[in-house]
């Protein structure tokens, strides 16, 4: 069986390279394979238009994902990919078409999955973490 012999030689050659230290599995790749993705879910129970964004670093680039505007009774979710770091969540409300105020911000070093409810009025917005 020529295919088996060829495969055996390839595995043997790779094993020898790994043992000699000439080739190694990158630690970053192994760590990324174990990492998990995350997400943020925000449910708007407030009397205002809300929006939120998630910014993170991945592969040397800063990326920002935006939920878009959503009103009372609507839930939005944004994903955070595995391997992302320096993650910032910002949830805001609109007072007028061009005026926003921040309801809350959170910072995370690695992906998490968290869910929040926002409520209240434009003058008194509030939030709490809820079960996902």
Report the mean per-residue pLDDT for the chain. Answer: 83
pLDDT of residue 9: 34
Candidate from 10-19, 28-37, 114-123 with smallest mean pLDDT: 10-19
pLDDT of residue 96: 81
In a 10 Å sphere around its CB, with 0-12 CB exposed, 13-18 middle and 19+ buried, how is residue 70 labelled? Answer: middle
For residues 32-59, give the mean pLDDT.
91
Query: Which residue did the predictor score with more confidence, 8 or 51?
Result: 51
Which pLDDT tens digit goes with each residue over 84-114? 999 999 999 998 878 999 999 999 999 999 9
pLDDT of residue 19: 53
Residues of the chain with pLDDT > 90, as a percent, come to 70
Residues of the chain with pLDDT > 70, as a percent, come to 73
**If you search the block for the tokens 């060829």, which residue do you land on?**
6
Statement: residue 11 has pLDDT above 50: no
pLDDT of residue 22: 52
Residue 78 to residue 115: CA distance in whole angstroms: 11
């Amino acid at each position: 069986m020529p295919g088996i012999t060829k495969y055996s030689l390839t595995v043997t050659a790779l094993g020898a390279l790994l043992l000699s230290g000439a080739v190694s599995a990158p630690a970053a790749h192994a760590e990324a394979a174990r990492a998990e993705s995350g997400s943020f879910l925000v449910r708007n129970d407030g009397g205002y238009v809300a929006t939120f964004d998630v910014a993170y670093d991945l592969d040397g680039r800063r990326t920002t994902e935006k939920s878009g505007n959503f009103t009372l009774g609507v839930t939005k979710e944004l994903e955070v990919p595995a391997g992302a770091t320096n993650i910032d969540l910002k949830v805001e409300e609109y007072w007028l078409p061009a005026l926003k105020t921040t309801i809350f911000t959170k910072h995370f070093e690695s992906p998490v999955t968290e869910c929040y409810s926002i409520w209240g009025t434009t003058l008194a917005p509030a939030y709490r973490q809820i079960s996902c």
